[in-house]
Amino acid sequence: MKNKLRVLRAEAGWTQADLAERLGVSRQAVNALETEKHAPSLDLAFRISALFGRRIEDIFENPYGESVA
């Protein structure tokens, strides 16, 4: 899933390990998200959103376009 996680992390001046610690996940999990190998769970997406103070839609691209209806 395309995302802006790497950019947001860099803007915050955090390493992948720093972000992982703040989110309660492994550094490998952060790497998998940043390299778009895995999509976050809904819970993790909400935690990332809250951590960066942004809407989920501003961090993660909707793979279904603007609307699924």
> Residue 16: which of 29, 3, 59 has the closest Cα?
29
Where does the pLDDT of residue 62 fall: very low under 50, low under 70, confident under 90, or very high at 90 and above? confident
Q: Assign residue 36 a region (left: φ > 0; alpha: ψ between -120 and 50; beta: otherwise).
A: left
Average pLDDT, the chain: 94
Q: What is the pLDDT of residue 64?
A: 82
Nearest to 34 by CA among 2, 63, 57: 2
In one-letter notation, the amino acid at residue 65 is G
Whether pTM exceeds 0.75: yes
Closest among 3, 10, 8, 7 to 59, alpha carbons compared:
3
Q: What is the pLDDT of residues 15-47, one digit of tens each?
A: 999 999 999 999 999 999 999 999 999 999 999
